[in-house]
Chain A
């Protein structure tokens, strides 16, 4: 079964700690994306990567970092510099990095920082 996996589904951290969210895809897609979703709001783009070893900041990149060492993997680190990290995080991929491509989404990770 092809798709996107995100783990864990729920994550709890203490304030001041960095945390890394996992995203893996076996769709052989070139592009991968990280979004943040807050209650009552649409998705906001954090980072995206169109190719291995390259990534671009999205609208709300401050306090986040990513890496793309393998085509299949695009982990997101939420650093202690992110002022309000509690949110639902969604990873997505698309065949190419064209913004008008259909995006395939993972099930999300709900991060709670206290």
Chain B
């Protein structure tokens, strides 16, 4: 069985603070994919990133960065200089063995 754990249920920061959202996963597969999705108040999920299990390079996209560490089974997401528009629920997900499993999500509130 595979599992995704997002232990942080809710995080509140003040604008311009950096914030890291944690994601820990469990899988027995050697080939798998990890995702982050953002769910703004409007409801639809928006794809942010996908990594496969063979690519441990960290990725940066503007204010967003992702740290993938197989040794600790983690795929953490950092927002630098957070903005109010970053307020949303963020989901980490794992695809392996024909199944896509989502974590329970982390609600991020960025206060002005």
From A67-75, A77-85, A96-104, give the one contacting chain B: A96-104
Tally of B interface residues using CB under 8 Å:
24
Q: Pick the residue among B43, B93, B105 that contacts A107 (CB under 8 A).
A: B43
Q: Is the CB of B9 within 8 A of A43?
A: no
Q: Scoring B residues 83 to 105 as 1 if CB is less than 8 Å from chain A, else 0, what string do you get?
A: 00000000101010011111111
- Expressed in whole angstroms, the Cα–Cα distance for A109 and B83 within the complex equals 28
The answer to whether residues A108 and B91 also contact, given A42-B102, A42-B105, A102-B50 and a CB cut-off of 8 A, is no
- Expressed in whole angstroms, the Cα–Cα distance for A8 and B105 within the complex equals 25
A77 → chain B closest CB, angstroms: 21
Q: List A residues at the B interface (Cβ < 8 Å).
A: 4, 40-45, 59, 88, 90, 92, 99-100, 102-108
Q: Scoring B residues 32 to 54 as 1 if CB is less than 8 Å from chain A, else 0, what string do you get?
A: 01010100001111110010100
Enumerate 8 A-B pairs (CB-CB under 8 Å) in ascending A order.
A4-B44, A42-B4, A45-B100, A88-B43, A100-B52, A103-B45, A103-B47, A108-B44
Pairs of residues from A and B, 10 with the lowest C-beta to C-beta distance, nearest first: A42-B102, A108-B43, A100-B33, A105-B45, A105-B44, A99-B95, A43-B102, A100-B95, A107-B44, A102-B47
